[in-house]
Structure 1
Amino acid sequence: MAAHSLLSTNLSATPPILSLSSSVSSRSRTTHFSLSKSLSLYRNPSRLSPILSALRNSSQSNSHTSGSDHKFSSALDSLFVLCTSVALSFALFVADVDSASAFVVNTPRKLQSDELATVRLFQENTPSVVYITNLAVRQDAFTLDVLEVPQGSGSGFVWDKQGHIVTNYHVIRGASDLNVTLADQSTYDAKVVGFDQDKDVAVLRVDAPKDKLRPIPVGASADLLVGQKVYAIGNPFGLDHTLTTGVISGLRREISSAATGRPIQDVIQTDAAINPGNSGGPLLDSSGSLIGVNTAIYSPSGASSGVGFSIPVDTVGGIVDQLVKFGKVTRPILGIKFAPDQSVEQIGVSGVLVLDAPANGPAGKAGLQPTKRDSYGRLILGDIITSVNGKKVSNGSDLYRILDQCKVGDKVTVEVLRGDHKEKIPVLLEPKADES
């Protein structure tokens, strides 16, 4: 009877279970256990009937023992019932935790609408951005073995399903081999389709499955406004894909090509962080469309200082089309070598001083006079170009800018200062010798 009474007391009392649930609640405020689940065993005695029956049989069998063993049996029964009660309570607690796990409520992270748009833009455009490794051949000084070692890296993006990758020319310059790593970390050997040193643009090609190639959506750069948001995706410092944000700080900037020094016009200036490794990566607008190719930063330390530059997509698009079709860019030239702008300024005139005009070049054929020395060693200045097609030429950048608007085969009127008078000379523009 004592054992049965003790078991009934331990099983029927609800405070231990309630206090257990309360202690769990105090430890984790975000987890709430259902009391209806915890008390279901007490409201449904049939679940406990096998245990109660076994304990009753044990109690009845113990009542027939001898008087000398009665006290020992009673103590053993009490200890057994106590252990059983503790084990049963623990089992109910564990079982209830498992059943209550379905009722745990996790508060979702709340993001603002602009944050959600940025997250979505990164997730949708990251598969289009690739990592490019520039490999160079080096000979070991001790073993004389020829090895390929990484000499640089940069970013790029998928242009089409044929496997064309667009990046900066300075990212691949001097490479013996190139590796392209896609967003899924698969790596492929890349071949150079063509490049334009003057505009710092290059096109590669990889033989990757089409289902792994996701072309980036191409936008326009003609209608950009200062102040609109932009996003740069790349692999700075060899890290995985990263996203930096900012605004357009300026338009129609001009920078010089790292390879040839030729000016690149209409460049986009942005304060989005652009660091080594971001070169060749895309600059996107808020809709996720390509508006530029990150190419350079203005910083003495080489790290982002809030002044980054991107080649506008309208310029890049025409170059890429020519490189894909012909493997080269056909750009017109005058066929001259001219003096540095500082030298002309020292003379006190404004224009481009012709140092050399090869006879087989467009300017030489048209009769432009180069700089030369007479029989006494005195320097005789050549023609000074002051305008082309009526557009004023004050320095070399002006001349390049005007020629960029022309095509091979165009006839332009070059006005020169020859001695103390001006002359107008028609010149037929031709492509570079290595592009013909």
Structure 2
Amino acid sequence: MFSTTGQFRAFLFGVAAAAAVTFVAIEAPWREATPRQVTPRGELAPQEETTIALFEATRDSVVSITTEKRVLDPYSRRAVEVPRGTGSGFIWDEDGHVVTNNHVIERASGAHVRLADGRVIQAELVGTAPEHDLAVLHIDAGLNAPPPLPIGESNSLSVGQSVVAIGNPFGLDWTLTTGIVSALDREIPTRDGATIEGLIQTDAAINPGNSGGPLIDSAGRLIGVNTAIFSPSGSSAGIGFAVPVDTVNRVVPQLIETGKYRPPVLGIRHSDRINRLAAMQGLEGVLVLGVEPGSPAAAAGLRAARQDASGRLVFGDIIIGIGDRAVASSTDLRDALDAYAPGDSVTIRVLRDGNEVELSAIREHGRRIGAVSEDIRLARGTAVKRDDPEPVTVV
């Protein structure tokens, strides 16, 4: 029979021996392991150097936007601001204006802008243009304001040229993705059923949070504002869309000046309902219901519809084209005219007494007027009643 002391000593000896064996088994490979030799990188490829330089030159002009929503606290019964969403934007000018998407700030009660240097600044809403999914904010960044992003042009873009997108996808700030211009002149529907036309399609990865961020060419110039993706999953599938910078450069100055975008007009009156009724009778185009005195349309000689003694509509000019674009509806007319700036010369193709005629007009800023002032009857007797007024737009 072993004594207790002997058993305890034997136990300690066994533990020590096991520890020594374990130590040797673990320690020996660690002492023998050596890190692999690093292979020198060498020079970066020219394309890599260009991309790096482009990012470093433009990142300070890109911002992160966080929006808030005012809700009622169920306990205190007081209105409080809670985070609502995130998006991207970029510095437009030296006065502190920031451009983003309208859908980023839509229905928000407030917004904060975070700069690349970490500063967070409360933003003020300046104006929105939902029809182009654009919005302008203003921040006071003081003396250390970031520089505005250089502005390019989109009318000279080519499919296949390189682009980069910078933004904050999923809240991952200042993320750079690269790609090409995949296609031009795309169109997508908006939430209110309208259509945004002339979009740039790109395969640069765009995800939720990229909205409002810049699409930039290889020269570091803004060529578009990232606005949407096509994806069944909700994340990038290589099909993204950006509002072209030519549109941005036309809309944003008006938002800064007046808070609203008013497209240039010809000075004619037309009715969506009457155009639809005419289309049902096989007459496609926009019927000129009135010509504003002193307007570009009046100077160009456009003729308005009138009513004969029996109250039936006698057609005047029917607009069937603007420039090289066909016009079959009021939407076509609006989209075609929206591509022009005030002061541009516009070629208008009209049907007059069954013959096609070309006229020229110079556009001015837009406005809206009231409802149709008469009962206007089409040739087959369909009427638009005065007690159901149809808004008439001056375009």
3-state SS, counterpart of residue 198 of structure 1: helix
Question: Is 2:194 the counterpart of 1:188?
Answer: no
Structure 1 spans left out of the alignment, 5+ residues: 1-22, 32-105
RMSD (Å), alpha carbons:
4.3
1:151 has 2:84 as partner: yes
Aligned to 2:383: none
Q: Which has the higher contact order (CA 8 A, sep 6+)?
A: 2
TM-score w.r.t. the length of structure 1 is 0.62
Corresponding position of 1:289:
221
Residue 395 of structure 1 corresponds to which residue in structure 2? 329
TM-aligned CA deviation for residue 198 of structure 1 = 2.2
- Provide Cα deviations, 1:158-188, integer angstroms capped at 9, x if missing partner: 1223211111122111222111111122110
State the SS of the aligned residue for 1:252: strand
Query: 1:167 — aligned with what?
Result: 100
Q: Give 1:306's aligned residue.
A: 238
Distance 2:346 2:202 in 1: 38
Q: By percentage of residues, which structure has more helix?
A: 1
Work out whether 1:216 is the aligned partner of 2:149.
yes
CA displacement at 1:304 relative to structure 2: 1.9
User: 1:337, CA displacement in angstroms?
Assistant: 4.1
Kept after mapping to 1: 8 A contact 2:287/2:319? no
| Alignment CA distance shift 1:201-1:107 (3 Å) | same
The separation in 2 between residues aligned to 1:422 and 1:219, in whole angstroms, is 38
Q: CA deviation at 1:156?
A: 0.2
Alignment partners' CA distance in 2, 1:264 and 1:178: 28
Residue 407 (1) aligns with residue 339 (2): no
Calculate percent identity across the aligned residue pairs.
40
In structure 2, what is the Cα distance between the partners aligned to 1:351 and 1:316?
28
Contact kept, 8 Å, 2:291 with 2:303, in 1: the verdict is no
Q: How far apart in 2 are the matches of 1:30 and 1:389?
A: 68
Alignment CA distance shift 1:135-1:24 (3 Å): closer
Following TM superposition, by how much is the alpha carbon of 1:143 offset from its aligned partner in structure 2, in angstroms?
4.3
Give me the whole-angstrom Cα distance separating, in 2, the residues matched to 1:432 and 1:347: 30
Residues in 2 aligned to 1:340 and 1:299: alpha-carbon distance in whole angstroms: 37
Using a 3 Å threshold, how does the CA distance of structure 1 residues 28 and 132 change in structure 2: closer, same or farther? same
Gaps of 5+ in 2: 1-28, 370-393
1:117 equivalenced with 2:50 (yes/no): yes
Name the count of aligned residue pairs. 331
Give TM-score, length-normalised by structure 2.
0.67
**Residue type of the partner of 1:295?**
T
CA contact (8 A) 2:185 2:197 kept: no
- Partner residue, 1:331: 263
Deviation at 1:385, TM superposition (A): 4.2
Tell me, in whole angstroms, the C-alpha distance in 1 between the residues paired with 2:346 and 2:95: 37
> Cα gap change, 1:339/1:383 in structure 2, threshold over 3 Å: closer, same or farther?
farther
- Give the counterpart letter for 1:307 in structure 2: I
Q: Which amino acid aligns with 1:133?
A: T
Distance 1:136 1:382 in 2: 51
Greater fraction strand: 2
- Using the TM superposition, name which of 225-234 and 157-166 deviates more: 157-166
Asked whether the equivalents of residues 412 and 426 of structure 1 are also in contact (C-alpha less than 8 Å), the reply is yes
